[in-house]
Amino acid sequence: MNILAIESSCDETAAAVVTDGRTIRSSAIDSQVAEHRLYGGVVPEIASRRHCENIVPVVEKALGDAGCTLAGIDAVAVTAAPGLIGALLVGVNYAKGLAYAADKPLVPVHHIRGHIAANYLAHPSLEPPFLCLVVSGGHTHIVRVNGYTDFQVIGRTRDDAAGEAFDKAARAMGFAYPGGVYIDQAAGRGDPDRYRLPKPRVDGAPYDFSFSGLKTAVINLLHNARQKGETVDIDSLAASFQRTVCEVLTDKLCAAARAYGCTTIAAAGGVSANSGLRAALEQMCRAQGWQYFAPPLSLCGDNAAMIGAQAYYEYQAGVRAGADLNAAPSMDIAEGFAQARAQRAFGIPSRPAGSAV
């Protein structure tokens, strides 16, 4: 089954053709990051406008690279939640138009479910159940993946997401947006023991995270040093910060895996590209005798192939949307689009025979 998937939830316009949820036939991504960097973060209005400009060439490129036309596509999938509402709406409306014009089923996909599914594209042997650490710019979750469309959130951040903490700490250290990757590079040159940073805990919630105190500690350390005229070893501050974040993430994931009896572990989301985190998770799993999976670096950040992978399993579960599909800026991963299945009767009507589109 060939799915044409579209992703526009943040600052990447992406389209991909994926076969049977596991094989990438093409994956086109147009990133706006260079433009948003000028403003120190994603500007929603600019993101929406660029998606409008980019979506047609990106979808054409994905179809062209896969060597197929719409006739060879069995379903259209689109990220419909969560994300920037104006950005999501571009993909959702384009996908609705395409599904209607080509008379194909439309499958709505939850963005974070897609991040988890990036693992299926790289690891043919990976099947639920497994425990997944989802670490992106907007989300930090420990998710028990009970089935391909059955998710249970075991822990979540109470404030900043891990990627957000990386980006805010990076900004304070003088790096450009998005700074997670620059902290990663600087950390490789620094001494992680040089600065002592707090490891925030959430009382009574052993698997929940809190990163805003850690971010503030970095900002205060830099501020105090500046006031005293002292220089800060940025490489070592980056190394100390990265190690602290990685320890918090791996400690809680390890505790959750033990408590829930999970022996297959996966990582997902933009921050799963972090070299320190990948090494820490691999070491943890090796020490515990657990299986460990992470997407290749090319599939950690936002892309449409991961949406096409998850869409295959949503389709198998009967999830469909119609012309009434709307985008949602926030939605729990456990909720997904089960409702869309219930409303199938209101799906896209077939075009009257012979009608022009």
Burial class (CB in 10 A: 0-12, 13-18, 19+), 288: middle
When asked if residue 310 is in the footprint of Zn ion (CB under 5 A), the reply is: no
User: Residue 271 binds which entry of Zn ion, ligand KG4, none, with Cβ cut-offs from 5 to 8 Å by kind?
Assistant: ligand KG4
Which two structure tokens, joined as six digits, stand for 348? 């896209």
Q: How far is the CB of 16 from Zn ion (least distance, A)?
A: 14
319 annotated as ligand-binding: no
State in angstroms the smallest separation of the CB of 49 from ligand KG4: 19
Q: How far apart are CA 52 and CA 32, in angstroms?
A: 12
C-alpha 6/C-alpha 63 separation (Å) is 11
Cis ω before 129 (30° cut-off from 0)? yes
127-156: contacts with ligand KG4 (CB under 6 A): 136-138
Nearest residue to ligand KG4, using CB? 270
Mask for 13-52, x = binds Zn ion (CB under 5 A)? ----------------------------------------
E strands within the chain? 2-7, 12-19, 23-31, 75-81, 106-110, 130-135, 140-147, 150-156, 264-268, 291-293
CA angle, residues 69, 75, 80, in degrees to nearest 5: 115
Q: State the minimum distance, in angstroms, from the CB of residue 136 to Zn ion.
A: 4
CB of 10 to ligand KG4, least distance (A): 6
User: Residues forming the annotated binding site for substrate?
Assistant: 134-138, 167, 180, 184, 274
Residues that bind Zn ion (CB under 5 A): 136, 302
Residues that bind ligand KG4 (CB under 6 A): 10, 115, 136-138, 163, 166-167, 178, 180-181, 184, 269-271, 273-274, 301-302
